[in-house]
Amino acid sequence: MSEELIRLTATEAVARLKRRNVSPLELVEAAASRIAQVEPAVNALPTLCLDRARDHARRIMAGEAAENAAHPGWLAGLPVTIKDLTDVAGVRTTYGSPIFKDHVPARSHPLVERIERLGGIVLGKSNTPEFGAGGSTFNEVFGRTRNPWNTALTCAGSTGGGAVSVATGEAWLAHGTDHAGSLRRPGTYCGVVGLRPSPGRVTRGTASNLFSPLSVHGPMARNVADVALFLDTMAGWDLADPLTWEAPATPYVASLAPRRFRIGYTADFHGKLPVDRETRAICEAAVHRFAEAGCVVEEAAPALEELQEAFLVLRSQHFVVDRELQLQTHRDLIKPDIIWNTERGLAATPSRLAWAERERAAWYRRVAAHFSEFDLLITPGAATPAFDVMLRHPESVAGVKLENYMAASMLNAAITLAGCPAVAVPCGLDQYGRPVGLQIAAAPRQDATALAAAALFESLTGLDRAVPIDPRPGVVPPPEQRTAA
């Protein structure tokens, strides 16, 4: 019975919960059994709260929160995982940092409160890089999370534990955050679906950077319909977050009907970014499958110009807000990448910040021009497939040496800077069996368009049926040596 339950999609599981064909407690126990089976191989959920989950399941079975049962995001007692950057009341929450290794918050983050109010049951905390900074999921508190497709490889970051938890069937839905691809790259590397919503779509609640659109919270699942369901759970206005707005009149789960899209596709933004040669080939073949459904696909993308440097300037200011005070008091407990980002921000002049803001504005105008002609902007979900789990980041992409840990993330960061929603959806496997994905971006606040396009693509490929999987041992493939075309 447990094996059958963990293979249900979230949508199927919620339907059974609503019909009372299965109970929330049965799903918690099925998840607990699966976690015990696969967790030693992947280290995705280092902190569990199963007794808390069981208590919550019993309360839902007794009718708690039943007044929300008509909400389109009602989860009816479905177990989920929460990224370890986000507080859950009474549950150890470390942010991946030795500074907070024993931290137990008294109150949950506003988003967790919303998820639980709408029938989501928290199973545990998913692993993340320290303070969510990094393209590979590891930290000094819990160690490394491994990719279930090949446990010698990384699951990416920073929502790596969440991606692995849904890819292996430890949970049906995973919460995460995204700044420069932290939902999209783990989704790509682990063969699942990750959505970066438009800024303001989902509350960030307690963030210090409340007025910045760079970092957002969002959903991850094994298929697009499940991601849409979890977005309906998360979406809505919240007094704690000044950028939020009301949930849409038409739920996201009701917005997935196929339609014809006009698509602009680029592998590398006119040669500006290095991309692995096989990734490029797989993604180019995949995006042309949209033509089977009557869509128009053209090679088109706005010019990046100096966006990479502008992103580093703006991201570093984000780190100054979040980490300046901790750097003063706990420098010896903070990893070098975070120190580098923060000190880069502290050294920036007002003139440099003004330049970066002008570059971002110019970039958005080019993106807006793209969306005046196209419904979508599609790119590879990541510049390279999963790399060695022991590395902080890929040392090179397509033979091009990377200067810093953020250099492999610009396919995703470019979308972040435009304020666009974007879905990472699986599109194939490379010659070594590593998942490859597409990043499907729509105009700002057009989250439903991005999800509908991802659902259409998923229906053409059927790749969502490849998960959940049992963790597979393997070896690290050789790096791609040929330079980008």
Residues annotated catalytic, as ranges: 83, 158, 182
122 with 49: CB under 8 angstroms?
yes
Identify the bridge partners of residue 424 per DSSP, sorted by sequence position: 194, 439
C-alpha to C-alpha distance for 304 and 419, rounded to whole angstroms: 15
Q: What are phi and psi of 143, to 5 degrees?
A: 85, -155
220 with 186: CB under 8 angstroms?
yes
Q: What are phi and psi of 240, to 5 degrees?
A: -70, -15
By DSSP bridging, strand 146-147 and strand 150-154 are antiparallel
Distance of CA 249 to the CA centre of its chain: 25
C-alpha to C-alpha distance for 445 and 442, rounded to whole angstroms: 8
- Mapping DSSP onto H, E and C, the string for the chain reads CHHHHHCCCHHHHHHHHHHCCCCHHHHHHHHHHHHHHHHHHHCCCCEECHHHHHHHHHHHHCCCCHHHCCCCCCCCCEEEEEECCCCCCCCCCCCCCHHHCCCCCCCCCHHHHHHHHCCEEEEEEECCCHHHCCCCCEECCCEECEECCEEEEECCCCCHHHHHHHHCCCCCEEEEEECCCCCHHHHHHHCCEEEECCCCCECCCCCCCCCCCCCEEEEEECCHHHHHHHHHHHECCECCECCCCCCCCCCHHHCCCCCCCEEEECCCCCCCCCCCHHHHHHHHHHHHHHHHHCCEEEECCCCCCCHHHHHHHHHHHHHHHHHHHHHHHHHHHCCHHHHHHHHHHHHCCHHHHHHHHHHHHHHHHHHHHHHHHCCEEEEECCCCCCCECCCCCCCEECCEECCCCCHHHHHHHHHHHCCCCEEEEEEEECCCCCEEEEEEEECCCCHHHHHHHHHHHHHHHCHHHHCCCCCCCCCCCCCCCCCCC
